[in-house]
Chains A and B, each alone.
Chain A
Amino acid sequence: MADLTAVLGPLQLPNPVLVASGTFGYGEEYGTYIDLNRLGGIMVKGTTLHPRRGNRPPRIVETPAGLLNSVGLQNPGVDAVISEELPKLKELKCPVIVNIAGSTVDEYAQVAARLDGHPTVAALEINVSCPNVNEGGMAFGTDPAMVREVVQAVRGSTDLPLICKLSPNVGDIVQVAEAAVEAGAQILSLINTVLGMSIDVGTRRPTLTNVFGGLSGPAIRPIAVRMVWEVYQALRVPIIGMGGIASGRDALEFILAGAGAVAVGSANFTDPGVCLKIIRELEEYIEAQGLDGLSSLVGAAHP
């Protein structure tokens, strides 16, 4: 069988297909449908210092080939994640990556410090791109100086490999990517959801209580592929590509654009088995092309 090992700087994955944060909870629910050990890794739900209640419903609306969500980082807080959720993931064979968020720079640093050295945690993904919270989140991710400050603060609080998850809601993604890498991020995740909105013509009001939401699903894939391409071309940094991936072919687009691994998000809602299908399709592609592994494909679409 084809060797799908993916190496992203300090992080080695058994295969390049991760599940994206916020779409997979802490894995437990999907464990009924698939063998979680076969995933390339699990990026668990965005975790903050204190519990967050989340936004008032409705929190979702379907859009063409996608959806808008405004969950608002609902989570039980880092202490409960450490005591309740991470122990359940201890025996898992694939790496567990914790997505961290905060409303202040110091909060990011404190969450990172509490997770530092945790034996179940393979890496941290810094979420500077959540569009659904009023403070922090995307407000950090759209300003290169703030991204630098957050990543530096987290870097000073942990020795874990650091991934920075970037927002697409910026003019120049390369500028933000550069800031994150200079501040100590070893890997970049891109993209988070695209800021969007829907209006209910029946009630003549915004459909989501939070007014704006994050757009995900196949609808955003071309935007994501373009941004992976741009960042890879400029920085040659390890990238986890994400945004509307629903098939092996989709995953290959990201890999060819420069992603060393990919994450699958919303497609899990539609097909809980989609990640295993994508892994199989990547294996088939590599075998059919007579390749040794993935590495020769990463960024191969660049001239």
Chain B
Amino acid sequence: MLTTVRKNTMLTDRIYRLTLSAPQVAADAQPGQFVHVRTVPPTSWDPFLRRPLSIHDCSREEGIIALLYEVVGRGTTLLSRLRPGDEVDLLGPLGRGFTLVPDRRPVLVGGGLGLAPLLFLARRLREARQRPVVLVGCRRGSDVVAIDDFAALDCKVEVATEDGSLGCKGMVTTLAEKHLECEDAVYACGPRPMLAAIAGLCRGAGALLQVSLEEKMGCGIGACLVCACPTPKGYARVCTDGPVFWAEEVDLRG
């Protein structure tokens, strides 16, 4: 479906937030779901594939969604050139999102741009009268984005950076070690090794864990089987069986 660019804001030298007028997506989206974005107009076939981007923020009332992306290649470079009023073709919302767990303290863990789906999640948790703790890990302080948005939702935010330039020095797992309690419901998104480490901590603490996985995709709707994730029962499809899984469902080291 065609959506219209409202804003395309440069947040750091590589990270952008794309705000789209997309009332249908905004009405249907659940936190943790993604949209499959075409980076070129419908007449062009290069770059060929769509880009799966998780829904960073969503307002049903205004009919808008926001996407967070990092410029890494041809597709995201083209996205970074979009201007207000331009049209963007997307499929979605797609995939299985987060399950909001009642009566447990929500802890949101984001590594790098894994932070993207957690703002929309925090918003819905606040609507459900829960107050999330948000743990953010980045390489450098200059990579840290969106923490003001979490603060605006009255979330408690803690930051770790590998070079110590913002927050505490270390990985997001260092923060998680300090914060996790057995009654927590943890929602995590980030690189696979980080998720594996968080899964170990949650097992130790007895906390419930959902992870949002990133994988290169083809169709994004479950037909082509390229976004495979190993599970005890064979490969799952990240696009339709996920991208959010309960930690026990997937093999995070595979």
Contact = CB atoms under 8 A, between A and B. Distances in A.
A25 B45 contact: no
B221 A270 contact: no
Interface of B: 38, 42, 45-50, 75, 91, 215-230, 234-235, 240, 254
Contacts of A218: 45-46, 48
10 contacts: A23-B223, A24-B223, A53-B234, A57-B228, A59-B216, A62-B48, A62-B75, A62-B216, A65-B45, A266-B218
Interface string A44-60: 01000000011011111
A14 interface: no
A270 B234 CA distance: 27
A272 interface: yes
Nearest to B51: A62
Given A32-B221, A60-B216, A74 B228 contact: yes
Contact of B228 (A23, A25, A54, A268): A54
Interface of A: 22-25, 29-30, 32-33, 45, 53-54, 56-67, 69, 71, 74, 217-218, 246, 266-272
Nearest to B234: A53
Given A57-B229, A269-B49, A270-B48, A23 B235 contact: no
A268 to B, nearest CB: 7
A60 B46 contact: no
Given A58-B216, A60-B216, A61-B216, A29 B222 contact: yes
B225 A59 contact: yes
Q: Is the interface of B mostly helix, strand, loop or mixed?
A: loop
Contacts, number: 99
What are the 8 closest A-B residue pairs judged by CB atoms, nearest first? Answer: A25-B223, A60-B226, A65-B46, A29-B223, A269-B219, A59-B226, A29-B222, A57-B228
Given A23-B219, A60-B217, A69 B226 contact: yes
B222 A269 contact: no
Contacts of B219: 23, 29, 268-269, 272
B216 A74 contact: no
A267 B228 CA distance: 20
Contacts of A64: 46
A33 B221 CA distance: 10
Contact of B49 (A56, A67, A74, A246): A67
A29 B240 contact: yes
B48 A69 contact: no
Contacts of A271: 42
B228 A270 contact: no
Nearest to A54: B235
Contacts of A63: 48
A67 B225 contact: no
A69 B218 contact: yes
A74 B226 CA distance: 10
A25 B222 contact: yes
Most buried by A among B42, B45, B221, B235: B45
Given A61-B216, A269-B220, A54 B225 contact: yes
B228 A67 contact: no
Nearest to B221: A29
Contacts of B240: 29
Contacts of B220: 269
B216 to A, nearest CB: 5
